[in-house]
Amino acid sequence: MAKTIPQLIDGEWRESRSRELIEVTDPATQRVLALAPKATHEEIEAAIASAKAAFLTWREVPVPERARLMLRYQHLLKEHHDELAEILAEETGKTFADAKGDVWRGIEVAEHAANIASLMMGETVENVAREIDTASWMQPLGVCAGITPFNFPAMIPLWMFPLAIACGNTFVLKPSEQDPLTPNRLAELFLEAGAPKGVLQVIHGGREQVDALLTHPDIRAISFVGSVPVGQHVYRTGTAHLKRVQAFAGAKNHMVILPDAHKDQVISNLIGASCGAAGQRCMAISTAVFVGAAREWIPELAAQMAELRPGHWKDAHAAYGPLISQQAKQRVQRLIAEGKAEGAECLVDGSQCTVEGFPDGNWLGPTLFRGVTPKMSIYREEIFGPVLICLEVDTLEDAIELINANPYGNGTSIFTRSGGAARHFQHAVEVGQVGINVPIPVPLPFFSFTGWRGSFYGDLHAYGKQAVRFFTETKTVTSRWFDDEPVVAGPNMTIHLK
């Protein structure tokens, strides 16, 4: 029988007393890999109390020492890179290459957290008034929490807790119940790097455990990545309880193709960006917008896309793996059926895909639609599967208007050889992350992940300088020092301005 995974509470890995257990399954075989507990009320309270107590001492640890912890941690992550990728591949179904990329993008954020001393520098101005100086200091908030999704079980936890902890906070992580083994291993390595007792807690569970974090008075900030309905719930509930919240939600990412682009480059990038990771990326390209004569490339795109084959993570020739769950597969199949019923032309249909040797896997083959309109459900909804829909417009302005009318604003890209067209596009499009001849423009950690509009709820984004601001408060100190004879102040406040 599969073992119940432990939770990290007060510096110890503890077996949960909960009788409610969630099966963690291999999406390629349905084999139960482990059981994740739904943390009890007492366990959540213990984790938060431990984090609160640890904050009192951790906040006083000098910034260079916190940076050294992150240096040791990123070194351990690199040493265990392939081991982490194997755990991740088995519980998510991602190909080994894709799993290694997931881990590496998380390591990059841990590397960035090692620069925390320079990232937390405040500002000073001498003589803001006569003999009066002002300085600002960035100080930690307290106990912070992170709620992470299934699709990047290494990268997104590493978006959150290294920077939060490097800033001087303590952290409670609630990873996805669908693939919690990778986050647990990340936490084990963090302890091995020398993290003090109570600085990081890991609890498991579902909606009830999320709500406990959102409403707990000792949690100061919540970082969330997931679906639109849950993102809205997290933001509304968290802010109603006076917490800082950054909630990354859905997406409908467009790639605009101009006729002057390199055709082979366009087709190759479209296939990879739409079907990679089985399309289960919030930055996946799910919508191709062909401008003018570029629409003539769609049949060739269909022919090459039809050659793509999913497979098990140990298969070096597999283009991508299964979807995370049977429910996820059924949802994508429903949307494919709706697309056909609404009149879109299905050029490649992967809805009944099978993989030899793995009859129970959550497989979906690559799927391509043409003749899609903005009123169709396959355009309006985030599909989150290996499905690409094609729209055709006459001009670049039409493409920009189409994208700006969509409620989401996570990512977009344009493929062209025209610098003028690219510059106009990047300026006019109302999307937070723009790629020019780059299909998935996810910024490196010294920038920030800047989704807009319906793709994000909050003010400050993940990682980079914005995350440091999110996990800190600014204290402004105005000081004046007197000689032996003090200056007597009158009732008029303008004396300080002379």
Same structural domain, 335 and 235: no
Say yes or no: 243 and 344 in one domain.
Answer: no
Q: Is residue 31 part of a domain?
A: yes
Q: How many CB atoms lie within 10 A of CB 303?
A: 12
Q: Identify whether residues 177 and 150 lie together within a single domain.
A: yes
Find the CATH number of the domain harbouring 324: 3.40.309.10
Q: Are residues 237 and 258 in the same domain?
A: no
Asked whether residue 118 is domain-assigned, the answer is yes
For residues 272 and 153, give the distance between their C-alpha atoms in angstroms, rounded to a whole number: 21
Same domain (yes/no): 16, 130: yes
237: number of Cβ within 10 Å: 17
* 50, 183: one domain: yes
**CA-based nearest residue to 148, from 111, 108, 183:** 183
- DSSP states of 78-127: HHTHHHHHHHHHHHH---HHHHHHHHHHHHHHHHHHTTHHHHT--EEEEE
The H-or-E segment that residue 419 falls in is helix 419-428
Please check whether residue 420 lies inside any domain of the structure: yes
* DSSP assignment letter at 487: P
Q: Are 226 and 329 in a shared domain?
A: no
**Inside any domain, residue 443:** no
pLDDT score, position 492:
65
Catalytic residue among 144, 167, 275, 282: 282
- Amino acid type, 25: T
Question: What residues make up the domain containing 160?
Answer: 3-249+463-477
Q: Are 451 and 463 in contact (CB under 8 A)?
A: no
294 and 224 fall within a common domain: no
Radius of gyration from C-alpha coordinates of the chain: 25
| CATH number for 76 | 3.40.605.10
The two tokens of residue 384 are 């989150």
Question: Is the domain of 107 the same as that of 31?
Answer: yes
Within a domain: 486: no
pLDDT tens string, the chain, 498 residues long: the values are 789 999 999 999 999 999 999 999 999 999 999 999 999 999 999 999 999 999 999 999 999 999 999 999 999 999 999 999 999 999 999 999 999 999 999 999 999 999 999 999 999 999 999 999 999 999 999 999 999 999 999 999 999 999 999 999 999 999 999 999 999 999 999 999 999 999 999 999 999 999 999 999 999 999 999 888 999 999 999 999 999 999 999 899 999 999 999 999 999 999 999 999 999 999 999 999 999 999 999 999 999 999 999 999 999 999 999 999 999 999 999 999 999 999 999 999 999 999 999 999 999 999 999 999 999 999 999 999 999 999 999 999 999 999 999 999 999 999 999 999 999 999 999 999 999 999 999 989 888 888 999 999 998 999 999 999 999 999 999 999 987 766 666 666 654 444
Domains in the chain: how many in total?
Answer: 2
Pairing type for strands 21-25 and 32-37 reads antiparallel
In a domain, 79, yes or no: yes
CA 134 from chain centre, in angstroms, equals: 37
**Whether residue 28 sits in one domain with residue 61:** yes
Q: Which two tokens stand for residue 308?
A: 């793509």
Q: Which single residue is written with the structure tokens 């265990």?
A: 80
282 is catalytic: yes
The total number of residues shown for the chain amounts to 498
Sheet holding 367-370, edge to edge: 345-348, 367-370, 387-393, 285-291, 253-257, 411-415, 433-436
Return the pLDDT at 495.
47
Residue 312 lies in a domain: yes
In a domain, 484, yes or no: no
359 and 469 in a common domain = no
Print the SS3 string covering 28-53: CCCCEEEEEECCCHHHHHHHHHHHHH
Are 201 and 335 in the same domain?
no
